[in-house]
Amino acid sequence: MTNRKRVFWATTALFTGLLGAGAASAQSSGTVATEATEVETVVVTGQRGPFSIDGAIVAESVAKTRSTITQEFIATQTPGQTILQTLNLVPGLNFVNGDPYGNSGGNIRMRGFDGNRVSLTFDGVPLNDSGNYAAYTNQQLDPELISRASVNQGTTDVDSPTASATGGTINYTTARPLEEPGFQFNLSAGEFDYKRVFMRADSGAFGPWDTTGYFTVSYTNYDKFKGPGELEKTQYNGKLYQDLGNGNFASLSAHWNVNRNAFYNNFINKAQFESGNYLENDIACITPVAVNGTVQNEGTQSTRILSNGTVATGSCTNYHGIRINPSNTGNLRGQFSYGLTDSIRFTFDPSFQYTIANGGGYATLRETDNTLDHAGTNATGPGVDLNGDGDVLDTVGIYNPSNTNTHRYGIISSLIWDLNEDHRIRAAYTLDYARHRQTGEAVRMGRDSEPVNVFSGQERWGDPDAAIRAIDGSILQKRDRFSIAQLNQIALEYRGDFFEDRITLNIGARAPFFERDLNQYCYSQDASSNVRCTNETPTLVLPNGNVRFATTGTTEYIPPFSQTVKYDDVLPNAGIVYRFAEGHSVYASYAEGISVPRTDNLYQPARAADGSLNFSTVQPETTKSTDIGYRFRNDRTVASIALWWTDYQNRIVSSRDNDPLSPFFGEFTERNLGAVEQSGIDAQLGYEVSDQLTVYASASYNTSEVQDDLEINPGVFLPTSGKKLVETPMWTYAGRIDWAPTSDLSIGFQGKFVDDRFTNDVNSESFDSYTVFDVDARYDLTDTFGIRDAYVQLNVTNIFEEEYLGNISTGTTGNRTASLGAPRTAVISIGTSF
């Protein structure tokens, strides 16, 4: 399709050329350099036709299952939308969005794997949390800056900087700066008071070396589609790019993202959904008036204004001002690729990431609690007057979110040696070093239950003046630990072309060496996530080393500890492509993966019989994945189909706690299902019917079988043998039609079907299937109003108002809860560039 390209190229100005798109999935400069010749192979063998069809499908040539989209397609989607939602049409991936615009985050499923087992990277930088591997989909790059995004279903690249990606990778790369100075401006408005502005300024070539650069800023704000509260995001991006000639380059990029989001109430079960009888988070919560000499209990006596406008009495735990998700995230990314000789190339990609974030938090605290500083400010004899009424008789509500503060340093480097034009060897080294501070500072709140600071009393971003003090005068904590996660990885890869480039062979292996340094500063219950952060002196030390406190009875605690745990493996990765006729090829790949235990699991050691601490109750998850596929392309068609199967050991299932009454609300829990066998089919097709009409379709089939019953207590088993994995649809279908009736107008219509999904491990409950359709239309205003490179775009998501349950809080048994799918939502955008 060529008659409407002017609209796209003029308004986005992000095209980076055929060779760049060929390395669409590249996680690093080394992978870009390694895969670049694979595009040349397509050209040399005479495979004519579109490299991509409207950006929704790209003709792949690598020896693994992969799907790629480009900015051409990304630009048609809702402005500001998370890139994960835009990728949702590709096979093998099922993404359930939290709201119509993407700022609430969402849930990734890739061939049955949760998002914690899928590596998400951004110009080579690993974005999964270094502690729990969570992928925070609401904190991704502005879509206007993403040139390409891709999905490796079930496999990683040889230099993938990950200790958890057993399910595959999702990678996206940012646009290069323009050669000429320019400015881009996009403005959007939509339902639920949606407002967004995006601005980009390009410097053009400047300085003695014709350096190029850009700077961008965006701002988004809108109301939740149900219940009180709003979502706000501000993002800044910048990039400098230096062409060094002969394919050599260096670049430096910066990213800063600030989110201030209110959570939705995702505590909706199937019966409530079907009846329509459920509440959102509370509109307001007022604590009782503090009166000297009488008892006030803010956990039972606070006045709640429910989301339906009625009044109730109880705790403020469900108040929307407390159920929040503030985050500040940023990174610096360098990329350097240089040919040392005609046959040897060196690449070096350093990075630094910063994160401070939490998921809100509320608890009640007695003024006579022994963990408090009874000798400090507001201390009155046996307690501390927390509500200022002059007595210590009360129970007060406190704000105590689980803050996570991370400083993360990374290096991905490669040495690539072309033995000759047909054979290449690559050696790679990866470092991922993260300092991970996890705290739960407690601060007072006013009668309106608003947090004084969204980061509580956190030392860099919080408000220590509002802090509640512990016995030694430090800030009272609900958790207090410091971890270092360090990955050192070496990799070796051989790539060879044989029989006049009809066969390409890749053989490689990566060897990750991973260690976690654990420092627990609180007392923890044996083999439990429950902790007591206190400076009290234990009243009893048991022979095995555990302790007891006078105020906690017979409950045993493990004293604060430090421990280093290490994991390593050698993971082979091999693939072969056979181009047996013009436009036809088959491929096969095999890859092994590992996911080492996350931080939270390791902070639950069990006391062994000999008195030592046992950290071996959680073991790494390992996979062996095989794909066999066929691809076809001609001047109008791009198609592929892949059969795959994966054998798991120690299959880990992650689930987010959505219960606002739980002390672990917003955190992830995991369970080990043991061995699991899984297989399926992924297929996609893009077809250019005419210059005005193209179609795209994808389908995935996924079946799984848990091999053993799940032991939940010693000698107690759940009947999980033979059952299927939770939250994994057996069938998904997706499709899109692009129609350009004139050179100025383009219209897209797309939809996705998601099959039933089991909610628990024994498969006793499932949530119904659903289908969501979207429409987009874009009109070029250049000829109509004479405004150069101007356009107007309309996006309507869930146009047929499908009602469905989205993200599931899965578990072992029973009826589970989920989030409500977003309703029909319309947004209109205008933009220009000059």
Where are any strands of DSSP class E within 650-799? 652-656, 668-672, 676-688, 693-706, 710-713, 716-718, 731-739, 745-754, 757-758, 766-767, 770-780, 791-797
Interval 506-526 mean pLDDT: 95
428 pLDDT more than 90: yes
> Using CA atoms, how far apart are residues 227 and 279, in angstroms rounded to an integer?
8
Instruction: Name the helix (H) or strand (E) containing 755.
Output: none
The pLDDT value given to residue 584 = 96
Q: Where are the alpha helices (DSSP H) in 283-413?
A: none
- Give the pLDDT confidence score for residue 550 in this predicted structure: 85
Task: Name the pairing type of β-strands 621-633 and 606-607.
Answer: unpaired
Contact by Cβ (8 Å): 204, 13? no
Which one, of 459, 472, 467, lies nearest residue 442 by Cα?
467
Q: At residue 356, does pLDDT exceed 70?
A: yes
Q: Closest Cα to residue 748, out of 4, 180, 183?
A: 4
What pLDDT does residue 155 have?
80
Mean pLDDT along residues 133-155 = 92
Q: pLDDT category, 679, cuts 50, 70, 90?
A: very high
Work out the mean pLDDT of the chain and round it to a whole number. 89
Q: What is the mean pLDDT of residues 341-356?
A: 96
Element (H, E) at 764: none
Task: Calculate the dihedral angle through the C-alpha atoms of 301, 307, 308, 309, rounding to the nearest 10 degrees.
Answer: 60
Residue 462, domain CATH: 2.40.170.20
Is 378 a domain residue?
A: no
The CA–CA distances, whole Å, from 23 to 39, 88, 236, 447, 679 equal 8, 21, 26, 56, 28
Q: Which residue has the higher pLDDT, 30 or 450?
A: 450
**pLDDT score, position 363:** 94
CA distance 373 to 831: 58
Q: How far is CA 757 from the centre of its chain?
A: 21
561-568 and 503-520: which strand pairing? antiparallel
Question: What's the confidence (pLDDT) of residue 375?
Answer: 72
Cα 575 to Cα 62: distance, rounded to the nearest angstrom: 8
pLDDT at residue 23 tops 80: no
pLDDT average, residue stretch 365-374: 89
User: Which among 87, 94, 95 is positioned nearest to 58, based on CA atoms?
Assistant: 87
Element (H, E) at 5: helix 5-12
What DSSP string describes 192-227? TTEEEEEEEEE--SBTTTTBEEEEEEEEEEEE-SSS
Any domain includes 662: yes
Of residues 45 and 317, more confidently modeled: 317
Percentage of the chain beyond pLDDT 70 is 91
pLDDT at residue 377 in the model: 62
Percent of the chain with pLDDT over 90: 73
Smallest CA-to-CA distance from 809 within 748, 765, 745 is with: 765
Q: Write b or e for each residue in 373-389: b if 16 or more Cβ atoms lie within 10 A of its Cβ, otherwise e.
A: bbeeebbeeebbbbbeb
Residue 821 has pLDDT above 70, yes or no: yes
Overall average pLDDT of the 131-155 stretch:
92
Q: Which residues contact residue 715 at a Cβ distance below 8 angstroms, ignoring those fewer than 6 apart?
A: none
Domain assignment present for residue 548? The answer is no
Mean pLDDT of 45-69: 79
Among the listed residues 27, 25, 26, 59, the one whose alpha carbon sits nearest the alpha carbon of residue 43: 59
Model pLDDT, residue 535 = 87
552 in helix, strand or coil?
helix
Q: Which of 99-113, 149-163, 548-562, 689-703 has the lowest mean pLDDT?
A: 149-163
| Token pair 């290069």: residue | 176
Q: Which residues contact 500 (CB under 8 A, 6 or more apart)?
A: none
Q: Where does the pLDDT of residue 616 fall: very low under 50, low under 70, confident under 90, or very high at 90 and above?
A: confident
Q: Which long-range contacts (CB under 8 A, 24 or more apart) does 416-421 make?
A: 416/30, 416/33, 416/34, 416/344, 416/345, 416/346, 416/347, 417/343, 417/344, 418/343, 418/344, 418/345, 419/343
Matching residue, tokens 């079946």: 703
pLDDT of residue 3: 40
Which residue is it, tokens 């799918």?
A: 821
The pLDDT score that the predictor gives to residue 730 is 97
In 3D, which of 626, 630, 631 has the Cα closest to residue 680? 626
Measured CA to CA, the distance from residue 697 to residue 382 in angstroms comes to: 70
Q: Which of 338-347, 536-545, 705-714, 813-822 has the lowest mean pLDDT?
A: 705-714
Mean pLDDT of 206-225: 97
Instruction: Please give the structure tokens belonging to residue 360.
Output: 């809100």
Pick 762 or 784 by higher pLDDT.
762
Q: What is the largest CA-CA distance in the chain?
A: 92
286-335 tens-digit pLDDT: 999 999 999 999 999 999 999 999 999 999 999 999 999 999 999 999 99
Domain housing 683? 5-266+324-361+400-522+560-833
Phi/psi at 491 (nearest 5 deg)?
Answer: -145, 150
Q: Is the pLDDT of residue 4 over 50?
A: no
Domain-located, residue 315: no
H or E, element range at 143: none
**pLDDT per residue over 540-583, tens digit each?**
999 999 999 988 889 999 999 999 999 999 999 999 999 999 99
Instruction: Supply the DSSP string of 261-306, one letter for each residue.
Output: EEPP---EEHHHHHHT----SBSEEEPPPP-TTS--BTTTSEEEE-
d(CA 45, CA 47): 6
Greater confidence, 37 or 531? 531
457 CB neighbour count, 10 Å cutoff: 29
φ, ψ (nearest 5 deg) of residue 689: -65, -45
Q: List Cβ neighbours of 499 (8 Å cut-off, separation of 6 or more).
A: none
Coil, strand or helix at 537: coil
What pLDDT sits at residue 654?
56
Measured in whole angstroms, how far is the alpha carbon of residue 232 from the centre of its chain?
18
Angstrom distances, CA of residue 684 to CA of 452, 510, 578: 51, 30, 19
At residue 106, the pLDDT reads 92
pLDDT of 816 strictly over 50: yes
Closest CA to 728 of 110, 84, 120, 133: 110
Amino acid at 810: T
Helix ranges (H only) for 744-825 are 782-785
What average pLDDT does range 482-499 have in this prediction?
A: 96
Q: Are 804 and 821 in contact (CB under 8 A)?
A: yes
What is the rounded average pLDDT of the residues 170-177?
94
Q: Distance from CA of residue 140 to its chain's centroid?
A: 8
Q: What is the mean pLDDT of residues 515-519?
A: 96
Residue 36's pLDDT is what? Answer: 52
For the cut 60, the answer to whether the pLDDT of residue 20 exceeds it is no
DSSP state of 800: T
Q: How many CA atoms lie within 13 A of 771 on its CB side?
A: 9
For position 809, what pLDDT does the model report?
87
508-526 mean pLDDT: 94
pLDDT (average), residues 104-127: 90
CA 740/CA 26 separation, integer angstroms:
32
Confidence of residue 379 (pLDDT cuts 50, 70, 90): low
Q: Is 790 helix (H, G, I), strand (E, B) or coil?
A: coil
Tokens linked to 454: 């969204």
- The answer to whether residues 358 and 403 touch, using CB atoms and an 8 Å cutoff, is yes
Q: How many domains does the chain have?
A: 1
Residues 435-486: pLDDT tens digits?
999 999 999 998 999 999 999 999 889 998 889 999 888 999 999 999 999 9
Beta bridge pairs of residue 430: 412, 489
- For tokens 């250049």, name the residue: 782
At 622-670, the pLDDT tens digits run 899 999 999 999 999 999 999 999 998 877 665 555 554 444 454 545 6
Q: Which residue has the higher pLDDT, 17 or 184?
A: 184
Q: Is 205 left (phi over 0), alpha (psi -120 to 50) or beta?
A: beta
Enter the DSSP assignment of 298.
Answer: T
Q: What backbone torsions phi and psi does residue 73 show, to the nearest 5 degrees? A: -80, -40
Residues listed for the chain: 834
Strand 168-174 relative to strand 119-122, pairing = parallel
Other CB atoms within 10 A of residue 174 CB: 22
Find how far residue 509's CA is from the centre of its chain: 26
Q: What is the pLDDT of residues 113-124, one digit of tens each?
A: 888 889 999 888
**Is 238 inside any structural domain?**
yes
Region of poorest pLDDT, from 44-58, 591-605, 743-757: 44-58
Helix, strand, coil % over all residues of the chain, rounded to 5: 10, 50, 40
Q: Count Cα atoms within 13 angstroms, Cβ side, for 241.
A: 21
Asked if residue 199 is part of any domain, the answer here is: yes
How many helices and strands, by DSSP H and E, does the chain display?
A: 8, 56
The pLDDT tens digits of the residues spanning 743-774 come to 999 999 999 999 999 999 999 999 999 999 99
Q: What is the pLDDT of residue 6?
A: 43
Interval 150-165 mean pLDDT: 82
E strand segments, 530-667: 531-532, 540-541, 547-548, 557-558, 561-568, 571-581, 584-595, 606-607, 613-614, 621-633, 637-649, 652-656
CA distance 434 to 5: 44
pLDDT digits (tens, 9 = 90+) for 252-280: 999 999 999 999 988 889 999 999 888 99
Q: Average of pLDDT values for 235-240?
A: 98
Give yes or no for a contact between 805 and 759, defined as CB atoms under 8 angstroms apart.
no
Residue 752 located in a structural domain = yes
Short-list 157, 245, 146, CA closest to 198:
146
Instruction: Let me know if residue 25 belongs to a domain.
Output: yes
